[in-house]
Amino acid sequence: MRKLLKYMKEYRGRCALAPLFKMLEAAAELFVPLVMADVIDNGIARADRGYIAARAGILVALALVGFSFTLCAQYFSAVSAVGFVTNIKRALMRHVLSLGYSDIDREGTAALLARMTGDLAEVQNGVNLVLRLLLRSPFIVIGSAVMAFTVDPASAVIFVIVIPVLFAVVFAILLSTVPLFRKVREKTEKLLFTVKEHLFGARVIRSFNADGKESEKFERENRSLTKKARRAGRISALLNPLTYVIINLGILFLLYKGALRIQTKELTVGQLVALYNYMSQILVELLKLANLVISVSRALSAAERVEEIFGTEGESGGEGIAPPEDYSVALRLDDVSFSYTDGGHPALSGVSLELKRHESLGVIGPTGSGKTTLINIISGFYKADGKVELFGVPQEELDREALRRRIRRVPQRSALFSGSVRDNLLWCGDASDEEMLEAAETASAKSFLLEKEGLDTKVGEGGSRLSGGQRQRLAVARALVGKPDFLILDDSFSSLDPATARDVRNAVLSLGATTIIASQRTTSVMSCDRILVLEDGRAVGLGTHGELLASCPVYREIHASVFGSDALPAFAGKEADDE
């Protein structure tokens, strides 16, 4: 929690005012039993209605003053807690967006979502309660004991015995519940991951009639969470009964001794009532403190989990050099290898190649051959073994933000964001309507846009209002806005029909940018200047379409899977226009 306190810096003044006003309200509350004792001993005993009315006025004044202080405290604590968590969310989002792919793979999107929502909600609630009750409750407890000594020192000795016992119980339960609530949050995160899988894969689950299997998996995770939550809840539930037992035993002893002292005229009825009220105040405050302990336990556990995310080192940005404008070699790979965390077999092994400026490179291979992994390494999302140079500069020396501005990438999944087409196309920088429409035309997207509302067409969440092909063409158009000099297309034509895919590919290649096209189909890469063939993470071929048909068995097999083995001699050496 201490690492997160820096986000409270701008609210330090309000954080001090919230408990201050709470203690002022508590001070007004501490005078109420004394006024009531005075009413009983001097007003009711003498049947003096004027005296009683005057003291009633004092009680009303104390109530109004206390209410005013409470409003101020609630305001400052709420503003501080909400502002504090807002700052954390802002910083956490920036940090998460800076994480590399390997960090996100390790943490998992479900865990990140849980920590940015549920965990931070627990932190906000905990901070709010701490500012209002952490000082107020002990102040009332200790203040009640002090005020009890001013009423009758002999009877107030019971306060000295009860208060330490109560604090011992509270802190013992606090120390026991913090690790338990942490386990509960971990189980909640696991359950959230299962629910997320079921929601995203609902159609697949139904199509394979796996409802029962997946329901059983959910029940298993839910039972595990319930077991942990019950254990933590049982310990937390001990707070109220233990507090009641200890306080009520103290009250019984106080009333017994008080009654004896009243008989001997050593204590008045009003004083005994005041002592009883002070003991009752302790009970009420310790019940609040008990709830505070539970909330603080959860908040501390949640804060630790949020700190873990901040403890994950993100990608450096703004520290390297900018990619040069004048270069001859756009990409150079020298013995590049990569393995995913706990991935076992290397995803890439010993890949080397050189891509000159304005050249195009096709990357092809069967499923799992390492195409997307290679694309991610070139984009700087994973750090690989070996040497990776971009624009003639080692990749690790380049400024990440500047590098991402120079390299435009269209991923396998066409990630569109809610809003209009215009909003999505402007992600790559400012552009005029003419420039956006030109990019859309290159990606064969202009025609269907004009049939709708043009650039103001709403795409819906994740592009839900568009077909798969339309989403993919818009993703390509977004990357083309501003005419980048380095373009990466990762299986970006998979949802397009062959004719449209050919038109988009030829239009993109005609721009003259350094282009990398990754695909599983030879029709998508055969127009490229050179083609890299991958199998099991290894480079097994590099050359033109015709050269690979003649020399690379893997490439011939991929080509024959589309056109048939009889077509191999006819297609060998032909150019892409023969598609």
Condensed to tens digits (0 to 9), the pLDDT of residues 55-66 reads 899 999 999 999
475 in a structural domain: no
Q: What is the spatial distance between Cα 233 and Cα 220, in angstroms, rounded to a whole number?
A: 20
In this predicted structure, which of 9-13, 98-102, 278-282 has the lowest mean pLDDT? 98-102
At residue 573, the pLDDT reads 41
97 occurs within a structural domain: yes
Query: With 90 as the cut, is the pLDDT of residue 364 above it?
Result: yes
| Helix (H) / strand (E) containing 531 | strand 530-535
Instruction: Name the range with the highest mean pLDDT among 100-109, 393-402, 504-513.
Output: 504-513
Assess whether 260 and 333 both reside in one domain: no
Q: Which segments of 356-445 does DSSP mark as H helices, in order?
A: 371-379, 400-406, 421-425, 433-442
The tens digit of pLDDT for each residue in 3-42 reads 888 899 889 899 999 999 999 999 998 999 888 888 888 8
Q: Are residues 110 and 155 in the same domain?
A: yes
Average pLDDT, the chain: 85
On whether residue 128 sits in a domain, the answer given is yes
Which residues form the domain of 341?
Answer: 329-413+485-578
Asked if residue 393 has pLDDT above 60, the reply is yes
DSSP reduced 3-state for 332: strand
Question: Are 495 and 444 a contacting pair, CB within 8 Å?
Answer: no
Lowest mean pLDDT among 70-74, 401-405, 515-519: 401-405
Between 80 and 177, the higher pLDDT residue: 80
Q: Is the domain of 258 the same as that of 339?
A: no
Q: What is the pLDDT of residue 387?
A: 93
Question: Is 547 a domain residue?
Answer: yes
Q: What is the pLDDT of residue 578?
A: 39
Gap between the Cα atoms of 510 and 518, Å rounded:
17
Q: What is the mean pLDDT of residues 39-47?
A: 84
Q: In the structure, what pLDDT confidence band is assigned to residue 567 with cuts at 50, 70 and 90?
A: low
Three-class HEC string of 399-422: CHHHHHHHEEEECCCCCCCCCEHH
Beta strand 514-519 with 360-364: parallel, antiparallel or unpaired?
Answer: parallel
Do 336 and 224 belong together in one domain?
no
Give the C-alpha separation, 111 to 193, whole Å: 8
Q: Does residue 309 surpass a pLDDT of 80?
A: yes
Instruction: Identify the CATH number of the domain in which residue 250 sits.
Output: 1.20.1560.10
pTM of the predicted protein model = 0.66
> In terms of domains, do 111 and 51 share one?
yes
Strand partners, 410: 489
Rounded CA separation 8/15 (Å): 9
Residues 174-224 pLDDT 10s: 778 778 877 887 788 788 778 878 877 887 888 788 888 888 888 888 898
Amino acid letter, residue 131:
L
CA angle 268, 269, 274 (to 5 degrees): 100
Q: Residue 448 falls within a domain, yes or no? A: no
Is 458 inside any structural domain?
no
pLDDT band at 316 (very low <50, low <70, confident <90, very high): low
What is the Cα gyration radius of the chain? 35
pLDDT confidence band for 572 (50 / 70 / 90): very low
Per-residue pLDDT band at 73 (split at 50, 70, 90): very high
Domain boundary among 311, 341, 369: 311
Residue 384's Cβ-side half-sphere holds a number of Cα atoms within 13 Å equal to 31
Question: Which residue would you say has higher pLDDT here, 292 or 375?
Answer: 375
User: Does pLDDT of 85 surpass 90?
Assistant: yes
Does 136 fall in a domain? Answer: yes
Q: 348: domain CATH number? A: 3.40.50.300
The reply to whether 340 and 280 lie within a common domain is no
Q: Which of 263, 280, 311 is the last residue of a domain?
A: 311
pLDDT at 319 over 50: yes
pLDDT confidence band for 334 (50 / 70 / 90): very high
Strand partners, 329: 356
Quick: pLDDT tens for 137-157: 888 888 888 888 888 888 888
Residues 370 and 376: their CA atoms lie apart, in Å, by: 10
Residues 307 and 390 in one domain: no
Q: Are 17 and 103 part of one and the same domain?
A: yes
Question: Looking at 279, 311, 343, which one is the last position of a domain?
Answer: 311
pLDDT at residue 541, rounded to an integer: 92
Say yes or no to pLDDT of 344 above 70: no
Whether 438 is covered by a domain: the verdict is no
Task: Kindly state whether residues 403 and 518 are assigned to the same domain.
Answer: yes
Identify which of 114, 109, 132 has the alpha carbon closest to the alpha carbon of residue 25. 132
Same domain, 155 and 260: yes
Single-letter code of the amino acid located at 570: A
Domain total in the chain: 2
Task: Look at 170 and 275; give whichever has higher pLDDT.
Answer: 275
Residues 224 and 260 in one domain: yes
Q: Examine the domain organization and report whether 159 and 234 are in the same domain.
A: yes
With 80 as the cut, is the pLDDT of residue 110 above it?
A: no
How far is residue 562's CA from residue 548's CA, in Å, rounded to a whole number? 16
